[in-house]
């Protein structure tokens, strides 16, 4: 199935429960955003209902095709509307579960972004989780399981999806998506084990941002105060850009640290800048690079959090602090003020 890569261990486990005829009535699939949880849940529904799973490895039989296409009467997906899953959707699901499967072994409902069920919806679904009708299954899919009530979590069998190893993901991007080896590696490493995050970064606007961040951070004076504010105004425009810029900067600083500490070019993320990395790394101390990394981590938490923050201010303060650490350490703080 397209985009599903690197979760073989999870599937071995799920296959075994199906083979042994003891699947649970409720599952909680958790793990990073874009890692393939939803695709895995759909594939699990196929596995439960496929007429010949031993033969149909790629899910192309008529049953599986209808499940994947969401046209099977015994498979449904609930997802948030305007940022929330409300109690009426849970009531709809309960009604759907009153009837036995029409043609499948299991009637399955997948609830995507399940943490967006509001409290009333979560309380309502508890009843179904506590007294599940036979041959019905709920699969909750979420990157934020901690936002679910503990009573909801505890009634589901937990399946954790680990980030896909960089080398595995890079191979996939190269062989299935046709990216060059170098590009596949960079995007895989920056996608932190998530297929969709890696693919999202495969566009000219991300490449431009990456070049800009790296060129500012490679310059001994960070291109002066104007360079910093040019970067700031570009990236504070939207939350994704800010998150991406911080991610590029963090991986760049990580590469510099890697160069200073282990001198191993094989693990460098920004491989196309290998020469520049060894050149720039010489200008800074390990301590200063760690301070910058900490600064980036702190800002990343603020920008990515759900709390309402002034992103422009966070980015400006972050960039000025980084300038103070990097320029102040080598060339005197007066350059920041100039």
Interface residue list for Zn ion (CB under 5 A): 50, 56, 61, 64
Beta carbon of residue 49, minimum distance to Zn ion (angstroms, whole number): 8
Considering the complex, what minimum distance in angstroms separates the CB of residue 57 from Zn ion? 9
Q: Which ranges of the chain would DSSP assign to H, the alpha helix? A: 8-19, 37-49, 62-68, 87-96, 119-130, 150-154, 166-177, 181-190, 195-200, 204-218, 224-235, 239-261, 274-281, 286-304, 311-330, 334-337
Closer of 65 and 276 to Zn ion (Cβ): 65
State the minimum distance, in angstroms, from the CB of residue 107 to Zn ion: 17
Query: Closest separation between CB of residue 211 and Zn ion, Å?
Result: 45
Least distance in angstroms from the C-beta of 135 to Zn ion: 18
Q: Which residues contact 8 (CB under 8 A, 6 or more apart)?
A: none
Kindly tell me which of 64 and 228 has the beta carbon lying closer to Zn ion. 64
Buried b / exposed e over 257-272, threshold 16 CB at 10 Å, is bbbbeeeeeeebbbbe
Query: Which of 59, 191 has the CB closer to Zn ion?
Result: 59
Size (the chain), residues: 338
Question: Using an 8 Å Cβ cutoff, are 224 and 335 in contact?
Answer: yes
Residue nearer to Zn ion on the CB measure, 35 or 48: 48
The token pair at 141 is 């899919």
Instruction: Rank residues 61 and 234 by Cβ distance to Zn ion and give the closer one.
Output: 61
User: Quick count: other Cβ atoms within 10 Å of Cβ 205?
Assistant: 11
As measured in angstroms, the least distance from the Cβ of 209 to Zn ion is: 42
* Closest to Zn ion by CB, 5 or 50: 50
Is the four-CA dihedral 118, 124, 126, 132 of positive or negative sign? negative
Tell the smallest beta-carbon distance from residue 64 to Zn ion (Å).
3
Minimum CB distance to Zn ion smaller for 75 or for 252? 75
Residues 136 and 92: their CA atoms lie apart, in Å, by 14
Edge-first strand order for the sheet with 107-112 is 75-78, 107-112, 136-142, 26-31, 157-161
Tell me how far apart the alpha carbons of residues 9 and 26 are, in angstroms, rounded to a whole number.
19
């Amino acid at each position: 199935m397209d985009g599903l890569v690197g979760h073989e261990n999870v599937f071995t486990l799920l296959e075994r429960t199906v083979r042994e005829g003891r699947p649970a009535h409720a599952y909680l699939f958790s793990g990073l955003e874009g890692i393939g949880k939803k695709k895995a849940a759909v594939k699990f529904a196929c596995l439960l209902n496929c007429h010949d799973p031993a033969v149909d490895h790629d899910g192309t039989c008529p049953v599986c095709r209808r499940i994947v296409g969401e046209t099977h009467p015994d498979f449904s997906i609930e997802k948030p509307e305007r940022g929330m899953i409300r109690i009426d959707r849970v009531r709809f699901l309960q009604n759907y579960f009153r009837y036995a499967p029409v043609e499948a072994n299991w009637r399955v409902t997948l609830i995507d972004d399940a943490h967006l069920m509001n409290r009333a919806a979560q309380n309502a679904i508890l009843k179904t989780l506590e007294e599940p009708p036979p041959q019905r299954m709920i699969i909750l899919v979420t990157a934020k399981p901690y936002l679910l009530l503990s009573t909801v979590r505890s009634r589901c069998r937990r399946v954790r999806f680990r980030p896909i190893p960089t080398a595995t993901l890079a191979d996939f991007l190269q062989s299935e998506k046709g990216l060059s080896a170098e590009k596949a590696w960079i995007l895989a490493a920056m996608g932190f084990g998530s297929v969709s995050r890696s693919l999202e970064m495969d566009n000219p606007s991300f490449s431009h941002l990456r070049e800009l961040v790296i060129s500012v951070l490679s310059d001994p004076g960070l291109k002066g105060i104007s360079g910093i504010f040019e970067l700031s105004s570009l990236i504070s425009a939207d939350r994704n850009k800010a998150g991406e810029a911080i991610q590029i900067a963090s991986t760049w600083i990580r590469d510099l640290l890697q160069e200073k500490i282990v001198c191993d070019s094989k693990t460098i993320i920004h491989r196309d800048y290998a020469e520049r990395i060894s050149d720039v790394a010489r200008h800074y101390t390990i301590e200063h690079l760690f301070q910058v990394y900490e600064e980036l981590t702190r800002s990343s938490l603020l920008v990515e959090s759900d709390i309402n923050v002034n992103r422009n201010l966070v980015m400006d303060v972050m960039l000025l602090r980084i300038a103070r650490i990097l320029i102040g350490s080598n060339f005197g703080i007066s350059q920041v003020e100039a």
